[in-house]
Structure 1
């Protein structure tokens, strides 16, 4: 056996490295898409968890609780869960509590600027849970709606956060569940 026959040539090693590099580069778009989907799913689950917390607080405390955009304008700036003081009560009778807030959403945004969940009577954005834990408008009507999340790196990627009439939330992926998202 020759000493030259015992190892690999530089050309063979370079070919293997080139094949590995091509495989790694070809999987990068898929990796980016999966990371973006994870980001959107994380924000979707966090929003629903905060909305369920708001509903539970309203039910347990017997007072209205609101999940509303952080700055009162658009959902994509974040949201806050707080109780609602009745304007008919004296100010000393109600102390406003802010339980949870979510600010920076990273690359995730609410499609359409988060214009969903607007009370038709007051034009305020948000979801108000009454003392019975039901999502209602200021005039007592039911609020059934959806928020649509997107990712600024993956324009096709979206998730629908749907609040049903029974107060249950679900996350819908329109690419997989086109019928269920309608």
Structure 2
């Protein structure tokens, strides 16, 4: 079992929050990692595997003009996928993966180009835990390695955001205990 996925489920449970996943190149691997954790049903709303580009628009609300202009392998597409799945499935947090696992380039992007994104509640936790965040990756290896590293990266990105949110909540509680100082 993935220790990052285990920690994500724990933090989401503690915070009383939920998660939805949008996947392209990872084809359901992110959802599989999360649901392998006992108790994931308390926090995991579901996932959309939008492998075909038009499904990113139709199911996740990614801007059609953006897809036409930039293709599916783009940081804005990843951000819109995360926000779209969060809204579509009614979750507090949305995460997304899009990229090129190979063997051939796609949308003018070389193999190993991946974008992972997180979209979360506004105004909570650290400044980065408000709204969305995208991370660009340049990965090496074969198709399987690129896909698994994409899973690891998107889970780590969400963990960073949740840890920041947790730290922000703890600071707020400390301030309250200390009379606002």
- Smaller-chain TM-score bracket: 0.3 to 0.5
Q: Which has the higher helix share?
A: 2
Provide the TM-score with structure 1 as the length reference.
Answer: 0.33
Provide the TM-score with structure 2 as the length reference.
Answer: 0.33
Larger radius of gyration: 1
**Higher relative CO (CA 8 A, sep ≥ 6), structure 1 or 2?**
2
